[in-house]
Structure 1
Amino acid sequence: MVLSSSSDADTVMDAVDFVLQNFTEMNKLWVRMQHQGPGGVREKREKERSELQDLVGKNLHVLSQIEGVDLEMYKETVLPRVLEQVVNCKDDLAQYYLMDCIIQVFPDEYHLQTLETLLGACPQLQPTVDVKTVLSRLMDRLSNYAASSTDVLPEFLQVEAFSKLSNAIGKVIEAQLDMPAVGAITLYVSLLTFTLRVHPDRLDHVDQVLGACVKKLSNIPKLEDSRAMKQVVALLSAPLEKYNDIVTALTLSNYPRVMDHLDIGTNKLMAMVIIQSIMKNNSCISTADKVEVLFELIKGLIKDIDGADVDELDEEDFKEEQNSVARLIHMLYNDEPEEMLKIICIVRKHTMVGGPKRLPFTVSSLVFSALRLLRQLQGQEGDIVGEEASMTPNKIFQLLTQIIESLSAVPSPELALRLYLQCAEAANGCDIEHVAYEFFTQAFLLYEEEIADSKAQVTAIHLIIGTLQRMNVFGVENRDTLTHKATGYSARLLKKADQCRAVYACSHLFWVDDQDGIKDGERVLLCLKRALRIANAAQQMANVARGSGGPVSLFVEILNKYIYFFEKGNKQITSSAIQGLIELINTEMQSDSTNPDSVADAFLASTLRYIQFQKQKGGVMGEKFESIKL
């Protein structure tokens, strides 16, 4: 109904009264029809009632279109009379439909300015009315209205929209004692969405909503409704999605309290969401306090929660979870060494209770975080890292030892050995000989007492040799002790081929290019000759066992070591020795007892081409190779 601009207030009022009266009578008829007629005509009656429902709603639509119905008239006349009819009709279907119509047909601005009146009717509705959906739609409309223009935001503050919505939700939940948990939590999700869109800077509002949810959940012995659980996850996810920063969420005191009400599986799911948010946004958690809160949030991933059995977990899911925790540890960083040490200690406190299946994932990350801290210290002024300082490299090395020792409960000796060697290299960089020696000692003890698998022994001994080769911190006595142990272990490996390769690898321990004091040509030659004897023994054993050729490629590998040290200027390695070795290899390959070996043939051919290349290149090196006959 549209009135001309010349219509006076009385005419407008008459039109409003007429439509309101029509609305009231039609609504009463609509409600009465529910209870009329025998059961046999119920289907026909329901169809008629549905048609009348549309007419009832159209009355409200007409009211919203009458020219002259301004905010004042809506506030003083239209809304109170419509709500009076809604509350008094006592019909749950009618109440839900009419409340939804009011929200949909009248302007957002009117809802905002009459929010208290509209919300006041909600607790008076029948207990069976789906009030949560009504309120959720109202909050969605207001959220969209706020997002439409920044000019309207002051209006929300002026009318204290959040406070009124929060109070109304509380009253509705109190009035509807039978409201299921999912209904209440859905209301809090809508309220949180509203405040995140309208007042994103008001973290106190966000925390207040979370706190109200905690209060509701505390009255529920155990939250078993999967729909309610999904709503709790939605509640916890909303701040992460809005702020794209877990650091903001960590300031919310009620956030971890809400997570405590999740079941084991959902708790872990939410913990993964938090970690993924940190990874996605490259968030840096840089204070010990925030790290403490963060690890409380993700405790479902880092330790067994009561009732959880880690053995029953899917192996792939478990690995993904633990790898996520390990990646998270690398994201924790602070430029201040003192604060970084606090962070490492907090992470250690939480992860050390993870149990034998989790420790191998987290200990490595923790060790490398401590090693990064060590590099920080090395970059500081001398007075900071001096022995009188509150934090020194020695103290960090003590912490590293304690962290790695925790792997003894797993046990995981191969991993522990690798980490000890990493720490030994770090001690080498800090020029602390006794600490580096102690780490090597621990690595050797693990090798002797814990590593029994032959393949693992081969890997371990090569790691030891490679690390020891790079060390320059040791004096003559300590280095001799360690190299002697390494060569001894190499010669005692199970398979001859493994022995041979480990022994010739030890030759590099006695000749290091960038260390003038470690160039012992005689001991290099002894290692290579020992490797040759082992290779020869392997060849003979193969001939006896199979009546055919053995590992000829071992001789070619040793030949390459001879050439390497020959080029480096080791006077103990002569061209005649190389010549003799080439002839030995050719003899072995031409032997009737040797099976053709295409790999060894190609390897030897490549090696001989290299010697030929050096001869053709000329110069000093060419002269050295000239006497070798191919």
Structure 2
Amino acid sequence: MINNDGIVEDEEKWLTAAIAGIQQNAFYMHRALDSNNIKDALKYSAQMLSELRTSRLSPHKYYELYMRASDELRKLEIFFKEESRRSCSIIELYELVQHAGNILPRLYLLCTVGSVYIKSKEAPAKDILKDLVEMCRGIQHPLRGLFLRSYLSQVSKDKLPDIGSEYEGDENTVMDAVEFVLQNFTEMNKLWVRMQHQGSAREKEKREKERNELRDLVGKNLHVLSQIEGIDLELYKDTVLPRVLEQIVNCKDDLAQYYLMDCIIQVFPDEYHLQTLETLLGAFPQLQPSVDIKTVLSGLMERLSSYAASSIEVLPEFIQVEAFAKLNNAIGQVIEAQPDMPVFGAVTLYSALLTFTLHVHPDRLDYVDQILGACVSKIAGKGKLEGKATKQIVALLSAPLEKYNDIDTALKLSNYPQVMEYLDDSTNKVMSNVIIQSIMKNKTHISTAEKVGALFELIKGLIKDLDADSDDEMDEDDFTDEQNSVARLIQMLYNDDPEEMLKIICTVKKHILTGGPKRLPFTIPPLIYNALKLIRRIQSQDDNGSEEETASATPKKIFQILNQTIEVLSTVPVPDLALRLYLECAEAANDCDLEPVAYEFFTQAYILYEEEISDSKAQVTALYLIIGTLQRMHIFGVENRDTLTHKATGYSAKLLKKPDQCRAVYACSHLFWVDDQDGIKDGERYKIIITFF
């Protein structure tokens, strides 16, 4: 086997020797030029250019050699310009250089003199250009031919008969310039494609890498075309684009097709792309299956999106040419033509189309939903997506939120939740967080039970256990942040109509109760407090003489729902939290003058204390909460208050530590003597407790 290091060392030796040959012959060429010896100058320049006949160098090394030679040719070109003004005519020089012995040096010299010939205007530019581009066919070696034609393009690009150019005239038209560049481009592309067949199959990967390094030589022709002022939309539509696309499709080379399609999109104006969209898109399904079409087509849609965003005045053009329908149809054809295209590729295309649609047709929600539906059809049956595809789905779903700044709009898209179904559990949570953050950022109020139900169905990844194992593996801080986001969302739900607000509360309850024991402590409290706000609002309306209270939206009905909800929380178990919520509800019932309801909440709190709270510190904290809440109650009659007060005193006396007992019983003493409430002045018991202390 040949060592790669050895090949590199040999290449360096060959390059060094070739450069030395160029330098030596260039020295003699300069000496001949100084003495106005044209014959010797041509002889040594031909010998210098013969170094470019080598087949031993890689494209990278050959480029270095080519640059050395082309630098010397520029000096020779200057001499030819001066010489044509003195003793030797340019026509004679043009004939003279064709006597060079080898074809490659002869053609380089011919291109150099041809450049001066065009500049002299002694012959029509189109005839000289045609002659040069045809003669270059004599070099069929791919690497040498590419660099020769690149040199031809370089020396002629400022001498094309363009509109406003000094070379334009009766005999020279823009079509001549276009024809020359297109012909040179076609021949260069053929040479570039042929490079893949040179050498053994084992070196295919190396050859593709080398070909990739040479792509700019071919692409420069398209850049030259784009700079020709005389190419208007009609000429581009009728001649330039069809000819270029024909060459790209017919070459059947994936590297060339990918690069050249991208070149077209990058170098020609956006307006031209829009007006020739059907022709351009028609080429995509004809490309090789291995071509990365998604990247090129996404790039086209990105450029058109930017063009649409640049000025509102161009939007009618998009509607006139039916850009959305054409792009949507093209994507469908590309996906159909490439059945092996990965899901990631298809989703990327639809994501780019959605971005385009949001820029051009922001008011057409039906277009947005149509794109999501097409995406669902493509990924149907694939199961949960993973990797790159999930990132594209998140981008797809995030785009409408960023554009409309309103979750209400996203909820109108029937296919939106269907797309989310294909996300794996972890990505589903990421997307759910994106939705919640959008709501928070824009302070969106979800004001109907129907919308709340749709929203909570969307973010179910944060509300219910989709995968218990994923929650166990999740970082505790991340989990807490997620659930706190859900809690803040619940607090934002609001409707002025008590009836509708009650429906919202019931809808939220139905969804959050599907959460596991880790979630309920985060999600139930905000629901309870939101419901208590509704109760106080209803009570305030009643106090103001409002008669709009309905049969369902009553404090009593809402307290019943809250009691059921807290009961679920008490089984998690987080008894201390459940006890706090029972006491909060009891105090709210007190404000509504609902004694039986308040008594029921206290009873539940006492049961929870007796059965679930066993830690001594937790008992002390719970007792102080009970005592403090009971002291603020004014709704209880003598019998109910007496029962609750004695219970609290009994619990205090049974605390584990004596100091805790003393403090708790002392706190209970105030329950027997409250100055601002009639009938709560049990002097005997108050004296007994005070005396005890």
Q: What TM-score does the superposition give when structure 2 sets the normalisation length?
A: 0.73
TM alignment of 1:478-493, pairs within 5 A: 478-493=640-655
- Structure 1 residue identity aligned to 2:332: G
- Secondary structure of residue in 2 paired with 1:380: helix
Match for residue 257 of structure 1?
418
Decide which of 53, 57, 63 is 2:225's aligned counterpart: 63
Match for residue 85 of structure 1?
247
Quick check: 2:351–2:392 contact (8 Å CA) kept in 1? yes
Quick check: 1:383–1:389 contact (8 Å CA) kept in 2? no
Q: Does 1:369 align with 2:556?
A: no
Q: Does 1:132 align with 2:312?
A: no
Decide which of 429, 437, 447 is 2:609's aligned counterpart: 447
Q: CA deviation at 1:41?
A: 8.9
Match for residue 319 of structure 2?
157
Match for residue 606 of structure 1?
none
User: What is the distance in 1 between the residues matched to 2:369 and 2:510?
Assistant: 28
User: What is the distance in 1 between the residues matched to 2:276 and 2:664?
Assistant: 85
Q: CA deviation at 1:29?
A: 1.8
User: What is the distance in 2 between the residues matched to 1:78 and 1:70?
Assistant: 10
User: What is the distance in 2 between the residues matched to 1:127 and 1:80?
Assistant: 21
- What do the CA deviations read for 1:318-339 (whole angstroms, capped 9, x no partner)? 3222222222211111111111
User: What is the distance in 2 between the residues matched to 1:421 and 1:205?
Assistant: 52
User: What is the distance in 1 between the residues matched to 2:206 and 2:290?
Assistant: 25
Q: CA deviation at 1:47?
A: 8.3
* Structure 1 residues 9 and 207, CA gap change in structure 2 (3 angstroms): farther
User: What is the distance in 2 between the residues matched to 1:139 and 1:163?
Assistant: 13
Quick check: 1:378–1:385 contact (8 Å CA) kept in 2? no
Quick check: 1:302–1:350 contact (8 Å CA) kept in 2? yes
- Secondary structure of residue in 2 paired with 1:379: helix
User: What is the distance in 1 between the residues matched to 2:430 and 2:211?
Assistant: 46
Q: Does 1:4 align with 2:164?
A: yes
Q: CA deviation at 1:312?
A: 4.2
TM alignment of 1:46-445, pairs within 5 A: 49=211, 53-224=215-386, 226-305=387-466, 308=469, 310-381=471-542, 382=545, 384=547, 389-445=551-607
Match for residue 28 of structure 1?
190
* Structure 1 residues 9 and 401, CA gap change in structure 2 (3 angstroms): farther
User: What is the distance in 2 between the residues matched to 1:126 and 1:513?
Assistant: 92
Higher deviation after alignment, 45-54 or 229-238:
45-54
Quick check: 2:343–2:389 contact (8 Å CA) kept in 1? yes
User: What is the distance in 2 between the residues matched to 1:349 and 1:144?
Assistant: 44
Quick check: 1:503–1:528 contact (8 Å CA) kept in 2? no
Q: CA deviation at 1:116?
A: 0.8
Match for residue 601 of structure 1?
none
- Secondary structure of residue in 1 paired with 2:418: helix
Quick check: 2:521–2:574 contact (8 Å CA) kept in 1? yes
Q: Does 1:515 align with 2:689?
A: no
- Secondary structure of residue in 2 paired with 1:129: coil
* Structure 1 residues 384 and 414, CA gap change in structure 2 (3 angstroms): farther
Match for residue 461 of structure 1?
623
Q: CA deviation at 1:36?
A: 2.7
Quick check: 1:132–1:183 contact (8 Å CA) kept in 2? yes
Quick check: 2:407–2:435 contact (8 Å CA) kept in 1? yes
Quick check: 2:383–2:422 contact (8 Å CA) kept in 1? no
User: What is the distance in 1 between the residues matched to 2:245 and 2:171?
Assistant: 23
Unpaired runs of 5+ residues, structure 2, are 1-159
Q: CA deviation at 1:446?
A: 1.6
Match for residue 599 of structure 1?
none
User: What is the distance in 2 between the residues matched to 1:478 and 1:192?
Assistant: 65
Provide the aligned C-alpha RMSD in A. Answer: 2.3
Higher deviation after alignment, 29-38 or 442-451:
29-38
- What do the CA deviations read for 1:217-262 (whole angstroms, capped 9, x no partner)? 11424423x1111111111222222223222222221111111101
User: What is the distance in 2 between the residues matched to 1:44 and 1:251?
Assistant: 53
Quick check: 1:377–1:385 contact (8 Å CA) kept in 2? no
Higher deviation after alignment, 323-332 or 119-128:
323-332
- Secondary structure of residue in 1 paired with 2:614: coil
Higher deviation after alignment, 5-14 or 163-172:
5-14
- Secondary structure of residue in 2 paired with 1:305: coil
- Structure 1 residue identity aligned to 2:627: I
* Structure 1 residues 472 and 360, CA gap change in structure 2 (3 angstroms): same
* Structure 1 residues 399 and 180, CA gap change in structure 2 (3 angstroms): same
- Structure 1 residue identity aligned to 2:177: A
Quick check: 2:638–2:679 contact (8 Å CA) kept in 1? no
Match for residue 688 of structure 2?
526
- Structure 2 residue identity aligned to 1:96: Y
* Structure 1 residues 244 and 524, CA gap change in structure 2 (3 angstroms): same
Match for residue 550 of structure 1?
none
- What do the CA deviations read for 1:165-201 (whole angstroms, capped 9, x no partner)? 1111111011111111111111111111111222222
Q: CA deviation at 1:208?
A: 1.6
User: What is the distance in 2 between the residues matched to 1:315 and 1:293?
Assistant: 28
Q: CA deviation at 1:21?
A: 1.8
User: What is the distance in 2 between the residues matched to 1:357 and 1:41?
Assistant: 59
Match for residue 544 of structure 1?
none
Q: CA deviation at 1:40?
A: 9.5
Q: CA deviation at 1:308?
A: 4.4
Q: CA deviation at 1:309?
A: 5.7
Q: CA deviation at 1:8?
A: 6.8
Quick check: 1:182–1:228 contact (8 Å CA) kept in 2? yes
Q: CA deviation at 1:42?
A: 7.6
User: What is the distance in 1 between the residues matched to 2:203 and 2:688?
Assistant: 108
Q: CA deviation at 1:515?
A: 2.7
* Structure 1 residues 504 and 21, CA gap change in structure 2 (3 angstroms): same
Q: CA deviation at 1:413?
A: 2.1
Quick check: 2:426–2:470 contact (8 Å CA) kept in 1? no
- Secondary structure of residue in 2 paired with 1:4: coil
Q: How many residues align?
A: 529
- Secondary structure of residue in 1 paired with 2:541: coil
* Structure 1 residues 494 and 379, CA gap change in structure 2 (3 angstroms): same
